[in-house]
Amino acid sequence: MYFEMCRELVKQGWSLSDIENSSFDTLISVACSTPKKNKQKEVSLNDFVKSI
């Protein structure tokens, strides 16, 4: 479990020293939170039809 949590944190940009220096509760809360997804760019219907 700890290895998987560390892997997720590294994917999110954490360094190993950051992980070692943080409390376990902080690591759990960060690893278990879902990252915010970027909003997709809105495309007008005309542009969408032209792209097809």
Distances (CA, A) of 3 to 11, 20, 21: 12, 12, 16
Per-residue pLDDT band for 37 (boundaries 50, 70, 90) equals low
Confidence band, pLDDT 50/70/90 cuts, at residue 52: confident
Q: What value does the mean pLDDT take over residues 15-27? A: 87
Distance in angstroms (rounded) separating the CA atoms of residues 19 and 25: 11
pLDDT of residue 13: 86
pLDDT band at 36 (very low <50, low <70, confident <90, very high): low
Instruction: Give Cβ neighbours of residue 42 (< 8 Å, ≥ 6 apart).
Output: none
With 80 as the cut, is the pLDDT of residue 1 above it?
Answer: no
Structure tokens that stand for 3 in this block:
């290895």
2-11 and 24-32 helices, crossing angle to 10°? 60
